[in-house]
Every structure is written in C-alpha cells, then in structure tokens.
Amino acid sequence: MEILVAAILTIITAATPLLFAALGELVTEKSGVLNLGVEGMMVMGAIVGFAAVHFSGSATVAIFASMVAGASMAAIFGVLVLVFHASQVPTGLALTIFGIGLSALVGQGMIGVAYDGIPQLHIPVISDIPVIGEIFFSQDGLVYLSIFMVFAVMWFMNKTRAGLILRAVGDSHDAAHAMGYSVLKIRFLAVIFGGAMAGVGGAYLSLAYSPLWVEQMTAGRGWIALALVVFASWKVRRVLMGAYLFGGISILQLHAQALGIAVPSQVMSMLPYLATILVLVIISRDRSKIKLNAPASLGKPFHASR
Amino acid sequence: MAQPSEYLLELTGMRKAFPGVLATDNVDLKIRPGEVHALLGENGAGKSTLVKMIYGILKPDAGEIKFNGKAVNIKAPAHARELGIAMVFQHFSLFDSLTVVENISLGMDHASSMRELAEQITEVSQRYGLPLDPDRHVYTLSVGERQRIEIIRCLLQEPKLLIMDEPTSVLTPQEVEKLFVTLRRLGEEGLAILYISHKLDEIKALCHDATILRLGKKVATVSVDKESTGSLAAMMMGEEMQAFQHPEKPILGDIRLKAKNLNMVAKDPLGISLKDINLLVHSGEVVGIAGVAGNGQDELLTALNGEHLTESGSIIIEGEQVGHLGPNKRRLMGMASVPEKRLGHGAMPDMNLIDNAFLTSYERLDFINHGFIDYGKTEQYANKVIKDFSVKTPNAEVPAASLSGGNLQKFIMGREFDQNPNILIVSQPTWGVDAGAAQTIREAIRKMASKGAAVLVISQDLDELMEISDRMGAICGGVLSSFYPIEEITVEKMGLLMAGVSLDDSVTDDVRDNANNDITNKSNQNAT
C-alpha cells in the first residue's frame, strides 16, 4: 500500500507540469497557431520562477513571475508569427533553442542554490487520513491549480462565447475574419495564454518536482506536452488523462529501480519519449481521426488583406 | 428623422481603385423596399467590390451611400448589420467543425443563449421552408443546407436589405427553384434583395430591376420585364454574345476509356466513396459529368488518372487493364488529366512554368537526357504552350502562382493538350475563368475530340456541359447515373440526375418533390 501511495504521489508530480503545458498548447492550437516553443517557454518559466523565489522568498510571486516569463517568450513568438508572418514551425523551434540558451545564461548564479519546495496543503485531520488524505488533501497549490485549469479550460472552450470564437478562428480564419472577428488579436491572446501555462509548468519543475535549478531541467517535457495535445486529439479531458498516463510512465523508472528490477536505468529514462513516439505513430495511422478533430487552420498563416 | 425616401438604398458615384485596377468607377444604384434588384456583370465587372463597399468590408474612395434616406458611412460589417444590411456570401463563411447553431451564433452581433437561438432557427426555418437541424455539424451538411445556414443567419437579424452574391452557383436546379420561392416570399414581406449574378435566366425569373456593370462602370439600370435575355447579355458583355455552335454528331471511334464496376473507398473521412462506376468514352466524343460539388468528382478524377489505385480490371485504357497502374504509366498510354484545383494539384505554385510543364510531360515528350532534365527542350515546350493558348505572362520563368486564374488554367490545359493525348479528363475546365478564356478553353476541348481524343469533362457548370458534351450524365453521392445523348437532355432532367434520381424508372411527381431531400441525404451519408 505504501508503495502504491508513493507511486501515485510521484505520478501526480510528474503529470502536473505536462498538464499545465499541454493545456496551454491546446488553447493555442485551438486558435490555429502551432507553437513548437513549449520547451523553451517551460525552461524560462523554470528559471525565472526559481530566481523569483530565491530573491523574494514567496512562492506566489515566483509562480506569477514564471507566468510572465512564459508569456513574454510567447509574446515574442506571437509578434514574429502573427505580425511579421514568420513561418510557425521554424519560429517555434527557434524559440525553444533561444529559451534553453537564455535560461542557462540567467541561471548561471542559481546552480547549487537550495530551496525547500513550495508548501503543501495541510488541513488538520483531513490531510492526515491515510491514503485519501495523502493523495487528495496534501498536495501543493499548483497541483490543485492544474486540475482547476482543466475544468476552467473545458468550460471556457465549450460553454463561453469567447471559447466559441476561439474555436471558430482555429477552424477557418477567413470565415472568422469575414464576420468581423479580429483573428490576430484572438490568436495573440491564445498564444500568450499558452506561454503563461507553459511557464507555470516549467516553474513546477524547479519549485516542486525537484526544487533546484539545473540547466535544461525540462528535459524534453515541452515536446511531450506537444505530443500530448495530438494524443488527446485536441480534447481537454483527454489531455488530463494523457498527462497522468505519461506521468505514470515517466516515474516507472524510479519505482523499477526501487523494486530492484534489472533494467538499465538509461532504458527506463527513455520510456516517456519512446511512449511519445509510439503514441504519435499509432495516432497518425488513423488520419481520419486527426482530420476531424484538428483545428482546420492549424499552422496556417493569416493575412487580413485577403 | 430624415424625410422618408422612396428608396431604401441609394448609391451615388461609388468609386474604388486597387493598385493598377479601377474596380468600380462612378456607379449609381437605387433599391426600393420589397424589390429584388439584380446586379449583373461578368467576372471582374466590379460587382463584388460594389457590394463589399455596401457591406462595409471595403472603404470607398469616393461616393455616397444613403440608407433609409440618410447618408451613412459604413465602417465595418457589424455597422452594416446594425443598419439592417445582411449578406450571404458566395463562399460561405462557415466553420466545418462547429454545429449549425454555433455557426449562426458567431454571426450574430447580439447573441442569445444557444437554446433560445436553436428555437429561433427552427422557427424561421419552418416559416420560410428552409429545413435545417440546429444541432448538426456543418461538415455533415450538403452545400444547399450550408447556404440555408447563411440565409437563416441573415433573416434572424431581421434585415431590411439582403445581399446575395451568386447564391445559385452551387445548387441543383431544384434547389434553385426552392430558393427562389423563399426569396420571392421575402420580397413580398418587404425585404429588399440585391441579387448578384451573371445567370440571365435566373434574373429573368426572379428580379424586378437590374443594374448592369461592365469593366467597373454602370451600363444601365433596366426593368427586367422589358428586356430579353439577349439584350441583357448584350449589355453585360458589351457585344452580342457569340453562341457556341454545337458540333455535328461526332464520328465515334473505338472505346478508349472504360470504367467497369469501379469501386473506391474514400480514404479521406470527408471524402466520397465511388460505388460501381461504369463509364465508356469513345474516340471522338466529349462526355460530360454534371454534379453538385463534393459528390465524388475529385475521387472519380483521381481514380481515372491513377492518383488513387483501384482493382486492375476496373479501369481499362485501350483494352488494357490499368486500375493498378500509377499516373505516369497511364500518361505513357496517352492519358492526360486536368484537376479542378489549379494551384497545388494542377500546378506547383512556387515553381516556374517551365518546371510545371516538365512535371506531367517529361515521359511522353522525352525531356530526360541520360538522367538529366533537358531544359532546352522543356523551355521550348513551355513557350509553345504559352503561345498556342495565348497565356498572358511576361515569360516562362515566372512562378505558376503569379498567373491569374484564367491564364494558369489555359497554361495547364495547354500543357496537357499539346501532348496530343488519346484520352483527356478535365475537371471544372472554366471555373473562375473569365468569359474570353472560357471560350478558348471550350473550343480547345471540342477540338481535341474532333482530332480523335476521348474526352471526359467533369463540371458543376451545367450550361457549359450542355454546350460542349455529346453525351451527359451526373454523379451524386459517388454513384454515376446513366448517360444520355445531348439531344435528349433538358435542364430539368439533369437536375434529377444530379439529385441521384434515375430517369429510367417512371418518374412520378412524388420523386420530383423528394429530389432535393434525396441529394442532401445522400451527401450527408457520405460525409459522416
């Protein structure tokens, strides 16, 4: 039982950063923009969040700082892609490379600095209930925020007019423009939201998952988040499922080692990435599924003149 | 309030210039409440520019717009809607992945809740005979149903003026008839309709007055009753229309192209599967296939030209089974094809005309020399095509995308025609092409047949098919109808064929009434 609880707790911490980043990217992609810079935005969120907590001592300040960092990175991308019509794929790749480099520069003085990790919820009595209390009532605030965001995004997408407009812009930007909606403004906001979410996802790594700064500590999670959006076929509920599934796979290595299973740790470390490739291959086999769910204007530049 | 005016909308001296083109120049237009007013002109006459200014999409360079007797400066579509101007576009502004009610909600400036809106849609659709289910996803709907969404969206805003931009170009004749019933009824209720078209018989059937534009200038405003189709055409074209002489009955040669029980399951979820297609094309004849867009035309073309492979015996060229052979092998056997989509299917947008000429002709015309491209020969060929089909281009080294639609179409046609194919398959030969170029293309198609080629033309333009075909049939939901000699064909018969009704059975009035429902159901089944 103890092993199970420990496993679930690590799955949650492994899943949360993926969930944040994938939710943000889902909203961005639903508006028709493909931002491949998630990794870069996450890693910037991680270092800025870590630096903020180091200097201010406040986790709340750190979380907001990481959002701003992610959103600023996204804003660069947004301006390049939406205003100057740069091609989305290379711009996104460049953003990732830029983010990794810039975070290393900013984080030079942070290597080896210690931090206790953001505080966990503790409700007397309830949090002390064995198993249930440990799993549901003893998490840090970001875990609850990530779950809250799942429902918030779901509600926004399906129940609000703004969400409807966002989906419409992603489906056919020409039609949306003809109706008088500001395609670029809506897309820019979606890109910024995606950046802020990626930033928090990154901050979760440096504030809670392993509270310290290491260069490139996101270690490809941004790419997994991107794959998750496709895996979830752009549906919010499936992003939640997918994030926890991938979280589960990525902590397998820890528990396999703990249980003394003789598989080289390198192979275990590969698992989440192998799983990503495998899932994408399987999903891509059924092109009809992608075609029916993917935002029809995804990755296509919009020129208002036409 | 301003003094009441006889006219709902008055335009004076409307002018709009684009770089290099004066799109409209000094155009006047007046519409009374309840009037169905035609705006008539060829492609490029300035019709769209004019209505875009009325609807606030384009800003006029000069001119005055009076609405309800009051001068207005319409800044944006939302402003136009506020005034009471609604517009149904030629290309629908619809979102495929959203439902009908969500689509309509997006077009409303003051949206009520989805449930209320769905009730309103049902009510309006019943009142005006426009059946539509609010909860269906748009991608499952036929073109006619999609248009209904646009019309209902406009009607929900209770407009005073409804602008319709070529609304019938995508409908079957029966759907057109139904639309006209609705429009007449709306006119009787006091709604003014500005009806843009270049189809003269429709204007005769529907409109009261007509304003004719040519090359951006107003030619005249006339009362439709007092004009004949011929006189309207003369004003529109600026000269008496040259009627195409339908050729003598062709001398049929051997069967060149044959499809036998051709079945093809669509790989694209939104595509149409071909079902048991049987088809014969003889040397020397033009066979026409009509049909509403999205009923399997693309699939048929790609099955016949080898882009999609099928069972080997289902397609036969000159007696040889070729269903399993790819496009290049079929080209070597003398087949040429021109797809509907010019950029990205018929031609590579960013490649120049020489490269584009090379791509489909290198095997047949032997442009490869020891594994290298023979640029000299290819360039010669590209220039020959440009000359033969009078393609307007500075030279052969410009990218295909820089040519206008009509010129690119002439080039693509010419590239295939100049290879002297034995079998020619053409889809939508004159779509979006101006009248002059269309005439050239149609004449070239006839000439290919008279030289002995077997020609198959797939088109949504019924008039065009009736002009150039020797035999005609229609495709509906991936099923091909029987073919009839052109003498036996009428527009009404074609309408039934396009709706998937077989003419061989005794056609009762019941069937006729159901024809429209049939076609929508068919395309729905295939879309889902």
pLDDT at B260: 92
Decide if B97 and A296 are in contact by the 8 Å CB cutoff: yes
With a cut of 70, say whether residue B240 has pLDDT above it: no
Decide if B111 and A161 are in contact by the 8 Å CB cutoff: yes
pLDDT at B43: 66
- Do B85 and B175 share a domain, yes or no? yes
Q: Categorize the per-residue pLDDT at B500 as very low, low, confident or very high, splitting at 50, 70 and 90.
A: confident
What lies within 8 Å, CB to CB, of B509 at 6+ separation is none
Higher-scoring residue by pLDDT: B201, A55:
A55
- Which tokens hold the place of B46? 């300035």
Minimal C-alpha gap between A294 and chain B (Å): 9
- Do B427 and B398 share a domain, yes or no? no
Minimal C-alpha gap between A268 and chain B (Å): 38
- Total structural domains within chain B: 3
With a cut of 80, say whether residue B226 has pLDDT above it: yes
Q: Categorize the per-residue pLDDT at B48 as very low, low, confident or very high, splitting at 50, 70 and 90.
A: confident
Q: Which residue type does B478 have?
A: G
With a cut of 80, say whether residue B245 has pLDDT above it: no
pLDDT at A61: 94
- Residues in B touching A287 (Cβ below 8 Å): 267
Q: Which of A138-142, B165-169, B278-282 has the lowest mean pLDDT?
A: B165-169
Decide if A164 and B106 are in contact by the 8 Å CB cutoff: yes
Question: What's chain B's length in residues?
Answer: 528
Percent with pLDDT over 90 in chain B: 39
CA–CA distance, A135 with A147 (Å, rounded to integer): 14
| Averaged pLDDT for residues B508-523 | 41
pLDDT tens series, chain A, 306 aa: 777 888 888 899 999 999 999 999 999 999 999 999 999 999 999 999 999 999 998 999 999 999 999 999 999 999 999 999 899 999 999 999 999 999 999 999 888 888 888 888 778 778 788 788 888 877 888 999 999 999 999 999 999 999 999 999 999 998 888 778 899 999 999 999 999 999 999 999 999 988 889 999 998 999 999 999 988 889 999 999 999 988 888 777 777 777 777 778 788 778 878 888 888 788 777 766 677 778 888 888 887 653
Decide if B77 and A179 are in contact by the 8 Å CB cutoff: yes
Minimal C-alpha gap between B161 and chain A (Å): 17
Q: Categorize the per-residue pLDDT at B527 as very low, low, confident or very high, splitting at 50, 70 and 90.
A: very low
CA–CA distance, B185 with B191 (Å, rounded to integer): 9
pLDDT at B3: 46
- Do B214 and B135 share a domain, yes or no? yes
**Which of B48-51's residues contact partners 24+ apart within 8 Å by CB, and which partners?**
B48/B90, B48/B165, B48/B196, B49/B16, B49/B23, B49/B24, B49/B216, B50/B11, B50/B14, B50/B16, B50/B24, B50/B213, B51/B87, B51/B163, B51/B165, B51/B194, B51/B196
DSSP per position, B476-488 = ETTEE---EEGGG
pLDDT at B513: 41
With a cut of 70, say whether residue B266 has pLDDT above it: yes
Residues 282-301 of A with CB under 8 A from B: 287-288, 291-293, 295-296
- Do B357 and B493 share a domain, yes or no? no
With a cut of 80, say whether residue B111 has pLDDT above it: no
Q: Which of B420, B435, B467 is the last residue of a domain?
A: B420
Decide if A168 and B106 are in contact by the 8 Å CB cutoff: yes
CA B217 to chain centre: 25
Does residue B34 contact residue B190 with C-beta atoms inside 8 Å?
A: yes
- Which tokens hold the place of B186? 């709306």
| Averaged pLDDT for residues B448-472 | 90
- Do B148 and B171 share a domain, yes or no? yes
**Distance from the first to the final alpha carbon of chain A:** 62
pLDDT at B507: 41
Using DSSP bridges, classify how beta strands B423-427 and B335-338 pair: parallel, antiparallel or unpaired: parallel
Decide if B95 and A288 are in contact by the 8 Å CB cutoff: no
Which tens digit of pLDDT belongs to each residue from B54-85?
Answer: 998 888 999 999 998 889 999 888 889 889 99
| Averaged pLDDT for residues B116-125 | 90
Average pLDDT, chain B: 84
DSSP letter at A82?
I
CA–CA distance, A20 with A200 (Å, rounded to integer): 7
- Do B393 and B486 share a domain, yes or no? no
Give domain status of residue B408, yes or no.
Answer: yes
Nearest C-alpha in A relative to B96: A171
- Residues in A touching B110 (Cβ below 8 Å): none
DSSP letter at B402?
G
- Do B110 and B18 share a domain, yes or no? yes
Which residue of B57, B95, B139 is in closest CB contact with A175?
Answer: B95
What lies within 8 Å, CB to CB, of B146 at 6+ separation is B92, B94, B138
Predicted TM-score of the model (pTM) = 0.71
Question: What CATH number is given to the structural domain containing B191?
Answer: 3.40.50.300
With a cut of 90, say whether residue B508 has pLDDT above it: no
Q: Which of A8-17, B236-245, B263-272, B404-413 has the lowest mean pLDDT?
A: B236-245
Give domain status of residue B243, yes or no.
Answer: no
Higher-scoring residue by pLDDT: B499, B101:
B101
Which residue of A161, A174, A296 is in closest CB contact with B96?
Answer: A296
- Do B170 and B184 share a domain, yes or no? yes
With a cut of 50, say whether residue B316 has pLDDT above it: yes
Minimal C-alpha gap between A189 and chain B (Å): 19
pLDDT at B241: 43
Q: Categorize the per-residue pLDDT at B509 as very low, low, confident or very high, splitting at 50, 70 and 90.
A: very low
pLDDT at B270: 66
pLDDT at B515: 42
With a cut of 90, say whether residue B262 has pLDDT above it: yes
Give the count of beta carbons closer than 10 Å to the beta carbon of residue B377. 17
- Do B289 and B174 share a domain, yes or no? no
* Strands annotated E in B166-253: 192-197, 209-214, 217-223
- Residues in B touching A167 (Cβ below 8 Å): 95, 97-98
pLDDT at B420: 92
pLDDT at B247: 59
Give domain status of residue B4, yes or no.
Answer: no
- Residues in B touching A292 (Cβ below 8 Å): 97, 139, 269
pLDDT at B5: 63
Higher-scoring residue by pLDDT: B3, A60:
A60
Q: Categorize the per-residue pLDDT at B521 as very low, low, confident or very high, splitting at 50, 70 and 90.
A: very low
ipTM above 0.85, yes or no: no
pLDDT at A19: 96
Helix, strand, coil percent values for chain B (each to nearest 5): 40, 25, 40
Q: Which of B370, B399, B420 is the last residue of a domain?
A: B420
Which tens digit of pLDDT belongs to each residue from B329-365?
Answer: 999 999 999 998 888 889 998 899 999 999 999 988 8
- Do B156 and B195 share a domain, yes or no? yes
Cα distances from B38 to residues B8, B77, B163, B467, in angstroms, run 15, 21, 10, 25
pLDDT at A48: 96
Q: Categorize the per-residue pLDDT at B289 as very low, low, confident or very high, splitting at 50, 70 and 90.
A: very high
Alpha helices in B189-257 (DSSP H): 200-206, 229-237
Higher-scoring residue by pLDDT: B275, A286:
B275
| Averaged pLDDT for residues B257-261 | 93
Does residue B312 contact residue B297 with C-beta atoms inside 8 Å?
A: no
- Do B323 and B467 share a domain, yes or no? yes
Domains (range + CATH), chain A: 2-293 (1.10.3470)
Which residue of A167, A179, A287 is in closest CB contact with B107?
Answer: A179
Decide if B268 and A295 are in contact by the 8 Å CB cutoff: no
- Do B45 and B99 share a domain, yes or no? yes
Give domain status of residue B1, yes or no.
Answer: no
CA–CA distance, A23 with A12 (Å, rounded to integer): 16
Decide if B105 and A171 are in contact by the 8 Å CB cutoff: no
- Residues spanned by the domain of B71: 9-237
CA–CA distance, A79 with A136 (Å, rounded to integer): 41
pLDDT at A125: 79
Percent with pLDDT over 70 in chain B: 89
pLDDT at A200: 97
- Residues in B touching A165 (Cβ below 8 Å): 106
Decide if A172 and B92 are in contact by the 8 Å CB cutoff: no
Give domain status of residue B247, yes or no.
Answer: no
pLDDT at B92: 74
Decide if A295 and B98 are in contact by the 8 Å CB cutoff: no
Does residue A79 contact residue A35 with C-beta atoms inside 8 Å?
A: no
Q: Which of B189, B205, B237 is the last residue of a domain?
A: B237
- Which tokens hold the place of B184? 């007449």
